[in-house]
Amino acid sequence: SATAMVKRICHGGFSPSNIAMDGRFLDFGTITSVSRYQRRATRPLESDFSNEQTLLLDSLIELRFFIVKYIAIPKDSKLITQEELIAGFDTIYRKVQQIEFLKLTGVCEATAVAFSQEKAERFRQCLIAIIRQGNSPFVTWPGLWGAVEQRQKPSTSGIGELLTRLAFSQDAADTQEKITQEIGDFSIASEFTVLYLELRALYTALRPDNKEVQRRT
């Protein structure tokens, strides 16, 4: 689910019947690709793309409920509590999302994993903050958030375009200027700049030949 979110893939219909036991998506009738991390909802009264993982968590909680109700748990076994399930899901979701967001910059997974988890989480939070700026929900059916002509158009930042521009930045000042111009928030731009350049430096240091990547102009 975290990987799908970062790659802008919206399932649109999470339920216990369309999630495999190993986590794979089933039933692709509602699946879609979302443009620029827009908050798209495909079913009434349910979470939109920005927080679709809550539907997956609800499905896991529902599965646990029926396991407790209908399956005899051996005395020497222990079923995790609902609180443990929620906490474990949240931890794994954030960790996977951290790595996938770092990979959007063009670094390999080995570099993303080597980046400090504290910095990876701050990087994730910066991107989430950028995505949420001016990001209003829109739906694919009439009603709920108003008629089509009354809905506010999403005005999300293009993360892909932003990261492409940063790939050609030459120094910290240039990088921060590009980010500030894109998102209009100096505090987020400042923190994001530091983290982005540290990630790029780590990638360079971990390269086998230890040489800076040549950038095309």
pLDDT (tens digit, 9 = 90+) per residue, 123-152? Answer: 999 888 887 776 666 666 555 555 555 455
pLDDT computed for residue 117 by the predictor? 94
Q: What are phi and psi of 20, to 5 degrees?
A: -70, 160
Could you tell me the pTM of the whole model?
A: 0.78
Per the structure block, which two tokens stand in for 151? 């809905």
Instruction: Say whether pLDDT at 1 is over 70.
Output: yes
Instruction: Say whether pLDDT at 213 is over 50.
Output: no
Cβ-proximal residues to 44 (8 Å cutoff; 6+ apart), any chain: 139, 141, 143, 144
Which range, 40-54, 165-179, 201-215, is most confident? 165-179
The average pLDDT across 164-173 equals 76
Name which of 155, 102, 157 is nearest 124 in CA terms.
Answer: 102
